[in-house]
Structure 1
Amino acid sequence: MVSRVMCLRKSGSFFLNSTPHHLNLPSPLLANVGYRHWPGAKYKISAVHSDTSSAQKVLEKEQEKPSEKWRIKMLYDGECPLCMREVNMLKEQNERFGTIKFVDISSSNYSPEENEGLDYKTVMGRIHAISYDGTVLTDVAAFRRLYEEVGLGWVYAITKYEPIASIADAIYGVWAKYRLQITGRPPLEKVLEERRKKMVDACENDACRM
C-alpha cells in the first residue's frame, strides 16, 4: 500500500514521495526512473521524466502541413500554355496557404456536377472560380479573389475601383475571345468537337466517366 504520494514539479521532472521504496509504474508511459534521497524527505524519492520528444515531433509535423480546407476553386485550361504559366505560379504560392483547389477542365474527368453545373464549353470561354460557398466568379473578379487567397491581393487591388474595373474586364474579354488563336490552337468549335470524339472513344473502350 502506498501511504502517501507527493508530486512536486522541479526542473522538468516529477518527484514522487512514497512508501514502499519501489512503486510499480507503467513503463511505456514513463522513462528514466531513478531513486534518490531528497533533503527533508522521509522516504526515498523517485524522479520520473516524461519523454515528450516524440509527441512534440508529431505536433510540429502537423503544424507544417498546409491547410486542406480550400476556400476557392480555380477552373483552368491545362492545355493552354500561357494560362499554365500563371497557374503554376499560383500553385507554387498556394503551397504556403492551401486555400486554392485547382481543377483542370481539360481533364476527361472534369465534372460539371461537381463545379456548380459549369460545363466545359462555358469554362473554356473565360476564367471561372468557385468560392467555398458556391459563389461563381468570372473575369478579373476571379483573378482578384484567387490572388487575394495566396497573399498577392495587391496585384489586382486597383481593379476594385471604377473606371479601372471596367477597363480591366474589357481587356480581359479580348484576351479570352482570342486566346486560342493567340496560343496557336484551333477555334473553340473545333476544340469542342475533338473533345467530344475523345469522350466517345473513351466510352467505347469502357473508360468514360459515368
Structure 2
Amino acid sequence: MAFRGAVSLGKQTNTRLLSLPRHLRTACSVSSSNPFHQSVVYPFYQTGVIRVKYPIRAISGTTVDPVATKKETEEPSTENWKIKMLYDGECPLCMREVNMLLERNKSYGSIKFVDISSDSYRAEDNQGLAYETVMGRIHAILCDGTVVTDVEAFRKLYEAVGLGWVYAITKYEPISSIADAIYGVWAKYRLPITGRPPLEQVLEARKKKVC
C-alpha cells in the first residue's frame, strides 16, 4: 500500500539530490499563492531494504528550522497556583505524599511546591514563616495569603488536585479535632520515626550550613 508524503523544495534547492525514479513520482505542482515555492509530491514507498516512514521537509538555505514540540514530562505552569505547599524534602515519609501530589498536579497546576530544606528557602517569600516554624508541622499558603496548618492544610491540598473526598470528613466535628490530635503526635515524633536527629540538632546544622 502506498502512502503519499510531501517534499517541499525552496527555489534554489538542487532537485537532483532529492529526485526519485520517474515511476515513483506522482505529482508536481506550483503554489499559486507563492510562485517561489515548489511542492513536489512523492509517494512513501517500501523496497526490500528501504522503508520511508516520515515526510521529509527541505528548506532552501543551509539550515532547517526545527519544529518546536512540548515535552510530555514538562511540568505545568504554577504561575496561577491556588495553594503553596511547604514541605520537608529531607523527610522520606513526607516525600511519598509529596510525590503523589506532584504527579496529580501535572493535570492541574494548582499547587506550588516549596522545599523548606533547600538553602534557597526564604521566610519573607512565604508569609514570614521561618524554617523552624514550618519544620514543626505542615503549612500551606492559599493564593490570598491565608496560612493553613495541620489536617486543614492536607484537605486544601487534596482539594486542589481533585482528591477532596479523601479528607472531606475532617471538616466536621469531632472528626476534625481527632484528626488534628493524631497528626500532632505524628508531627512531634516524625524526625525520630524517620531516623533523623531531634529538631534542635537539625536547626543547629542548618545554621552552620547557612553561615
With normalisation by structure 2, the TM-score equals 0.65
Larger Rg: 1
Match of 2:87 among 73, 76, 96: 76
State the shift of 1:66 in Å.
Answer: 3.7
Structure 1 Cα separation of the partners of residues 35 and 176 of structure 2: 67
SS at match of 2:173: coil
Alpha carbons of structure 1 residues 65 and 118: separation in structure 2 relative to 1, 3 Å: closer
Code of the residue aligned with 1:167 in structure 2: it is I
Code of the residue aligned with 1:107 in structure 2: it is S
Aligned residues, how many? Answer: 150
- Give runs of aligned pairs for residues 63-102 of structure 1, distance below 5 A: 66-68=76-78, 69-102=80-113
Alpha carbons of structure 1 residues 89 and 199: separation in structure 2 relative to 1, 3 Å: same
- Give runs of aligned pairs for residues 106-121 of structure 1, distance below 5 A: 106-121=117-132
Given that 2:75 and 2:106 are in contact with CA atoms closer than 8 Å, whether structure 1 keeps it comes out as no
Alpha carbons of structure 1 residues 103 and 162: separation in structure 2 relative to 1, 3 Å: same
State the shift of 1:131 in Å.
Answer: 0.5
- Higher helix fraction (1 or 2): 1
- Give runs of aligned pairs for residues 34-73 of structure 1, distance below 5 A: 66-68=76-78, 69-73=80-84
Code of the residue aligned with 2:150 in structure 1: it is D
* RMSD over aligned Cα atoms: 2.5
**Which protein, 1 or 2, shows the higher relative CO under an 8 Å CA cutoff with sep ≥ 6?**
2
With normalisation by structure 1, the TM-score equals 0.65
Name the structure 1 match of 2:151: 140
Alpha carbons of structure 1 residues 162 and 27: separation in structure 2 relative to 1, 3 Å: farther
Name the structure 2 match of 1:207: none
* % identity of equivalent residues: 72
Structure 2 Cα separation of the partners of residues 66 and 112 of structure 1: 25
SS at match of 1:156: helix
Name the structure 2 match of 1:163: 174
5+ residue gaps, structure 1: 1-23, 33-56, 201-210
Structure 1 Cα separation of the partners of residues 90 and 33 of structure 2: 64
Structure 2 Cα separation of the partners of residues 79 and 101 of structure 1: 18
SS at match of 1:186: coil
State the shift of 1:138 in Å.
Answer: 0.1
Q: Which runs of 4+ in 1 moved over 6 A?
A: none
